[in-house]
């Protein structure tokens, strides 16, 4: 059976994708960057910590990526590693450019040098659309990123297309809209809300402080979205696909879903804090996943209500056991 290399294996998507590929019988290798803290909790929660072969390396270090390609003998490479938090990208724009942008070229070069026949997946994002508000954003919608993160991702997106056209690399780019899960980082708004709801319910927190609650996002479940990544690399021809649910909801209404699941009224606990407003905002994201449905046979199968209540329930258990 084939081997796969996942960068960002310790992140939300990396963990779900590793599980999916292990279930399909792949040998799964994951690039792991040296950190002072434990980053394996997600692999542990999914019960796959021992099954993923971890390779030390960093996306900014080409030589380590070449060694990871050699060691893994991967025929499929999923480039999920990034500085992925939009708010941080204004505080660390150059690091974001290096890790989220330039490093895509590092990974593409490692593929080109070690195994140009390997199939490559690039984790692109709806943040590339930014200011462009089409009725629904699809593969033909122009890009206008609104953050250093979005700009860095756009570079990676175009480099993937360029390596496809220049060197015949089987590189596909998934333009994924927001996707969440109980394994979502606590800094992102859904998890911040579900964690706060659980803490408030258990008397361990008094209030929830948020920024712009009028922005709208097309939120899906990460477990569904990693299947789309895999499907892209099973196609004869590499291509770009929008992966979304086709429904958009305000942050405010998402809060309502989370709090009401616990019998709480979010308005009793919410405070608006200017600290969480961004220098430039993406007001509305709403994707059209028709191409993914037609060509990959993929569609989102988890509603926002199911997703948010699943996250609240997981956070209730976590907070209880703290």
Binding site for ligand NDP (CB under 6 A): 7-8, 10-14, 31, 33, 35, 39, 58-60, 80-84, 99, 123, 125, 176, 178-179, 185
Q: Which residues lie below 8 Å from residue 313, measured CB to CB, with a gap of 6+?
A: none
How far apart are the C-alpha atoms of 254 and 30, rounded to whole Å? 33
76, 127, 180, 225: the catalytic one is 127
How far apart are the C-alpha atoms of 56 and 48, rounded to whole Å? 18
Residue 188 CB, nearest approach to ligand GDR (Å):
4
Give φ, ψ of 220 to 5 degrees: -125, -175
Q: Which residues lie below 8 Å from residue 76, measured CB to CB, with a gap of 6+?
A: 2, 3, 4, 5, 26, 118, 119, 121, 233
Interface pattern 87-126 for ligand GDR (x via CB under 6 A): x-------------------------------------xx
Residue 8 CB, nearest approach to ligand NDP (Å):
3
Interface pattern 58-87 for ligand GDR (x via CB under 6 A): --------------------------x-xx
Calculate the alpha carbon distances from 128 to 7, 165, 251, 286 in Å.
21, 21, 20, 13
> Which is nearer to ligand GDR, 19 or 192 (by Cβ)?
192
- 145 closest CA partner among 153, 136, 156, 137: 153
Among 21, 43, 251, 300, binds ligand GDR (CB under 6 A): 251
Applying the rule CB under 6 A, the residues between 184 and 243 that interact with ligand GDR are 187-189, 192, 210-213, 215, 217
Residue 276 CB, nearest approach to ligand GDR (Å):
4
Helix 189-201 / helix 251-261 crossing angle, nearest 10 deg:
30
How far apart are the C-alpha atoms of 249 and 254, rounded to whole Å? 7
Residue 99 interaction partner, one of ligand NDP, ligand GDR, none, beta carbon < 5-8 Å per kind: ligand NDP
Residue 76 interaction partner, one of ligand GDR, ligand NDP, none, beta carbon < 5-8 Å per kind: none
Give the active site residues: 125, 127, 149
């Amino acid at each position: 059976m084939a081997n796969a290399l996942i960068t960002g294996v310790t992140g939300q998507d990396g963990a779900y994708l590793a599980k999916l590929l292990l279930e399909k019988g792949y040998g799964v290798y994951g690039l792991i960057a040296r950190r002072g803290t434990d980053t394996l909790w997600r692999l542990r929660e999914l019960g796959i910590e021992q099954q993923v072969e971890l390779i030390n390396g960093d996306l900014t270090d080409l030589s380590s990526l070449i060694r990871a390609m050699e060691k893994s003998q991967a025929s499929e490479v999923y480039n999920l590693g990034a500085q992925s938090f939009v708010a941080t990208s204004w505080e660390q724009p150059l690091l974001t450019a290096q890790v989220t942008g330039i490093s895509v070229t590092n990974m593409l070069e490692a593929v080109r040098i070690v195994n140009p026949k390997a199939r490559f997946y690039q984790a692109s994002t709806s943040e590339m659309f930014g200011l462009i508000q089409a009725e629904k954003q699809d593969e033909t919608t122009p890009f206008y990123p609104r953050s250093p993160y979005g700009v860095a991702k756009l570079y990676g997106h175009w480099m993937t297309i360029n390596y496809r056209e220049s060197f015949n690399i089987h590189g596909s780019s998934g333009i994924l809209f927001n996707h969440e899960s109980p394994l979502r980082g606590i800094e992102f708004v859904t998890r911040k809300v579900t964690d706060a709801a659980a803490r408030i319910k258990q008397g361990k927190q008094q209030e929830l402080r948020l920024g712009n609650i009028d922005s709208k996002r097309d939120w899906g479940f990460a477990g569904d979205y990693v299947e789309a990544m895999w499907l892209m690399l099973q196609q004869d021809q590499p291509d770009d696909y929008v992966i979304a649910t086709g429904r958009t909801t305000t942050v405010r209404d998402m809060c309502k879903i989370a709090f009401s699941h616990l019998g709480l009224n979010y308005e009793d606990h919410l405070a608006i804090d200017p600290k969480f407003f961004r220098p430039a905002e993406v007001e509305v994201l709403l994707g059209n996943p028709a191409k993914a449905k037609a060509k990959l046979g993929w569609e989102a199968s988890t509603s926002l209500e199911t997703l948010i209540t699943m996250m609240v329930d997981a956070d209730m258990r976590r907070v209880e056991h703290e």
